[in-house]
Structure 1
Amino acid sequence: MITIVGARTEHWIELFAALADRPDVTVTVVAADVSELTRTELDKLSSRAARFRCHIAPHLLGESRTGHMASVLFCADVSRYVEHRPDIVHVIGEAAYLSTWQAIRSCRRRWPTIPTSLYAAQNIVIDFPPPFPAIERHTYDQVDHMFPITPAALYVLRVKGYSGTASVVPLGVDTSLFRTRRDKEVRRRFTVGFVGRLEHHKGIADLLHAADSIDCDVSIIGAGSLRPLVEQATRRRPGRIVLHPWADHHDLPDHLDRMDALALPSIEVVQRNVVPWVGIPLREQFGRVLVEAMACGTPVVGSNVGEIPHVIGDAGLTFPAGDRAALASCLARLRDDPALTATLSANGLARANRLFSWARIADAMCEAWSGIRLARDRPATGLPGRRRQRHRPPHAIAMQRLEAKP
């Protein structure tokens, strides 16, 4: 059983498909507050995968009301949607999410001995306002295994007091869908692409300025509050900047394949969309589109914010966040050096297949789940063992407050 909430969740369907492709796995997903596109893709997977089931549960409070997935609340007991006793309960959501607390509480009441695991992407140590710290601590005491998506996310878990087992498992890519489809030689003006939300923290203004300074074309796919800024740029440079609406997941590889480089020039900002008087630093937690571009053989350029350098590795170039001249220099290098472009393209393809294939990630998660099931079954009495009490050491609290300061 897997629970998932929030609008921006389409990419998890690829993991569900990879899990359901295994002959020894049956997947039941309970989702809430997901987008219509996610609903459509879940329905498609249900119709073609015999071992996949999905239930869209009603929700009391959604992301649209607060701007954050942490506030999503299920209307009902999520365990009621599962017909048969599961072997594992996996929650896709941070430890402090209300939906995480609901899902774990519900499953503990109905199946007290079933192991639970949890996704974790938070890469900054933050003091949350009440009631979220209590929810977070309760989650750490209840969950059997954590799946942080980066080493930085694992570090945050340890600082916040989680002392249980964990496996670093990144976000993935469907390498059968995202793949190179044609010769990457430049047959037109150099085109840099962007895929994502058109928001300030994504560095849209920096990208437009850098592209203008080296006179290259720009292909932007996405939507958001900075759409007027992009539309103004398209009028200023007609035919050189093209704005596309959100692309269907199956159409995105073609867009990426037509780009000579993909840029993710994110900057760090402070968001106040949950509680206005509490500022939460927003730092890129992964940058999934980087992996998708790599799998298509498209070189990537990213800022040094958050986990972008970790994800890029040897598959692209990085620059100091907010440095427009440095971003322009990276793009110019790719435009003017075919050998560098070819090397980064080959490195990206190899990196995507070696580290970020959903099939490999599904294998790693199933191996971890088998391990925690064996650990749970180990007591000779056959009775559930006493759950570990995980207290945060004093130095962890001090580090939390120190790192939360601007």
Structure 2
Amino acid sequence: MHVMITVVGARTEHWTELFAALSDRPGVAVTLVAADVSEVSRVELGRLAERFSNFRHHIVPHLLGEKRTGHMASVLFRTDVSRYPLCPPDVVHIIGEASYLSTWQAIRSCRRRWPGVPITLYAAQNIVIRFPMPFPTIERRTYRQVDHAFPITPAALYVLRAKTYPGAASVVPLGVDTEVFRPRRVPVDGRRFTVGFVGRLEAHKGVSDLLRAAESIDCDVTFIGAGSLRPLVEQAARQRPGKVTIHPWVDHHHLPDHLSRMDVLALPSVEVVQRNVLPWVGIPLREQFGRVLVEAMACGTPVVGSDVGEIPHVIGSAGLTYPAGDWSMLADCLTRIRNDPGWAAALSASGLARVADLFSWARIAEAMCAVWSGLGDRASGDRASGELSESAPRPGQPSLAASVAHRLEAGS
């Protein structure tokens, strides 16, 4: 099975573990077409190409990059993405929301060249947002062309349905490479209780709440990341020398070492309204997943998160949640873990079990390939009978997405 994947944006490196898991599956070849990626992404994709002979990647020119506009929705490919696979794919998977300009570009290119090839779509939006034109039109057209959607949470599935996506869908979470992120022994003698934070140092990540909570219980706190609130963290480090530390971003090969040195990982996110697409359009920003929670659990590190967005869904019963913005409740959660090592060990074990059951990239790749295989079998049969000679269904003809949805509902 040949899978073509398109992706845009600086955070493409977050997907390299999925690409590796797919490439590691027998009989699967992956062609990746990416644009506007970071230097870290270029390095990671190069490593994958050296590791897997069945993985090919193309970093293509782009217009309207994320740095210029502030949002990945505006990124445009400067070239026809369908030119890059050496042979036609069996399925096209688009990592990008339905409203992204690059998503619609990829769909149009692939439908023109391979009208019968199934297209699947990633979806993470967990708030029903009505975007300004032309984005609603792009969304509607995308929904009509997608054969199967992969929302990462039940909330993302709800948003798809609320926005009238009619096709089949499977909730497929973000994952973690359990070969890289795993428990590691670290020396504990003489080490103070340490809370860790990994992510962007921005207001919506609750950085100030974590600083107040850590100071109130006199524990150490380690920040890994960068952002506009770095001066606030540096000021706290001067006020509490040796108890507040900050590190720049680290790649996922080195992150497990840092996570294993933390007694607990905190994700104290809060909901904010951003205006980085159009200044007069406020877009609620609510945590869509919280990938670092899964990475910490895979390392055996207990997790604490606010109740904003999808954090409670990701943590489940394997950690603690508290009301977003209530730094005193966050301090109470941290104190409970610090004062009861046995209970902390139980949380660690629960997190490891939850990751193994739900969040392993290997299992996620298996689930996605099962859907793709079913779509490919159906498309092959339809091409043989001539039913997919057009890029859109004829009036009265059921769409491929509707057919697959019926099959899934029937349990076939």
**Whole-Å separation in 2 of the counterparts to 1:123 and 1:216:** 34
Q: CA deviation at 1:382?
A: 3.3
**Residues matched between the structures, number:** 390
**Whole-Å separation in 1 of the counterparts to 2:28 and 2:399:** 31
**Whole-Å separation in 2 of the counterparts to 1:117 and 1:260:** 39
User: Which of residues 212, 222, 225 is equivalent to 2:225?
Assistant: 222
Residue 36 (structure 1) aligns with: 39
Aligned amino acid, residue 9 of structure 2: G
Residue 7 (structure 1) aligns with: 10
User: Which of residues 52, 59, 64 is equivalent to 2:62?
Assistant: 59
Aligned amino acid, residue 216 of structure 2: S
Aligned amino acid, residue 364 of structure 1: A
Aligned amino acid, residue 380 of structure 2: D
In 1, are the aligned partners of 2:91 and 2:118 still within 8 Å (CA)?
yes
Q: CA deviation at 1:383?
A: 3.2
In 2, are the aligned partners of 1:295 and 1:349 still within 8 Å (CA)?
yes
**Whole-Å separation in 2 of the counterparts to 1:186 and 1:136:** 55
Q: What is the TM-score when the length of structure 1 is the normalising length? A: 0.94
Residue 364 of structure 2 aligns to a residue in which SS? helix
**Whole-Å separation in 1 of the counterparts to 2:244 and 2:356:** 31
Q: What are the residue-to-residue correspondences of 1:3-402 with 2, within 5 Å?
A: 3-182=6-185, 187-379=190-382, 381-384=385-388, 387=393
Q: CA deviation at 1:66?
A: 1.0
Residue 370 of structure 1 aligns to a residue in which SS? helix
Q: CA deviation at 1:374?
A: 2.4
In 2, are the aligned partners of 1:186 and 1:260 still within 8 Å (CA)?
no
In 2, are the aligned partners of 1:184 and 1:260 still within 8 Å (CA)?
no
In 1, are the aligned partners of 2:233 and 2:246 still within 8 Å (CA)?
yes
Q: CA-to-partner distance for each residue in 1:43-98, whole Å, 9 max, x for gaps?
A: 01101101000000000110001111001000011111111010000000000000
In 2, are the aligned partners of 1:147 and 1:168 still within 8 Å (CA)?
yes
Q: CA deviation at 1:328?
A: 0.3
Aligned amino acid, residue 387 of structure 2: L
**Whole-Å separation in 2 of the counterparts to 1:42 and 1:377:** 31
Residue 408 (structure 2) aligns with: none
Aligned amino acid, residue 296 of structure 1: C
Q: CA deviation at 1:183?
A: 6.1
Q: What's the Cα RMSD here? A: 1.4
Aligned amino acid, residue 221 of structure 1: I
Identity %: 73
**Whole-Å separation in 1 of the counterparts to 2:163 and 2:294:** 29
| Structure 1 residue ranges without an equivalent (≥5) | 391-406
In 1, are the aligned partners of 2:186 and 2:260 still within 8 Å (CA)?
no
Aligned amino acid, residue 61 of structure 2: P
Q: What is the TM-score when the length of structure 2 is the normalising length? A: 0.93
**Whole-Å separation in 2 of the counterparts to 1:318 and 1:184:** 28
Q: CA-to-partner distance for each residue in 1:306-365, whole Å, 9 max, x for gaps?
A: 000000011110000000110000000000011210110000011111110000000000
